[in-house]
Amino acid sequence: MNANPRAAAPTRASWLALAIPAALLGGAYVAQYGFGLYPCEMCWWQRYPHFAALGLAAAGFFVPPYRLWTALAALAILASGLIGGFHAGVEYGWWEGITRCAISVEAGGDPLAAIMSAPLVRCDTAPWSLLGISLAGWNFIVSTLGALAIFALLARRRPA
């Protein structure tokens, strides 16, 4: 058992590790369901590390070693940011993406009808931007800077 009860108290790093993925996922779902900006495959790739970061950050509040869980959450946030950076590069035409659009046709189904009715969300087109930066670009900026801030807070000798 830990003799110092303050050592288990949530830190700024813990709260930041929880708040960043919660805010970014919340924004993604508001964009999706509130404004019809449906995610492409690469958008989903950015969400998965944020889901993991939420669980890891929550563990950082309750499961020792607390700082380790917070650091792992920061790594997941950073992973999402780097995926977002790659996706933004695809949207801006800096490089080619690695996804292909695909649909499946049920046995006996009409392939042309399946193609024509399939919702198509392209990964190489930004459906929305603010100040010339796409959602993927904002995820890159917020996630990368946020993860670096968490690491900086964890690097301090005293809990921050």
Q: DSSP readout, 125-157?
A: S-S-EETTEEHHHHHHHHHHHHHHHHHHHHHSS
Average pLDDT value for residue range 57-69? 92
pTM: 0.79
Write down the pLDDT at residue 151: 96
Average pLDDT value for residue range 61-67? 91
What percent of the chain has a predicted confidence (pLDDT) above 70? 81
Asked whether the predicted pLDDT for residue 134 surpasses 60, the reply is yes
Average pLDDT value for residue range 57-76? 94
Residue ranges per structural domain of the chain: 11-95+103-155
Nearest alpha-carbon partner for 64 in 147, 1, 148? 1
pLDDT tens digit sequence for 97-113: 776 554 555 667 777 77
Write down the pLDDT at residue 103: 52
Pick 73 or 6 by higher pLDDT.
73
CA atoms within 13 A on the CB side of 122: 10
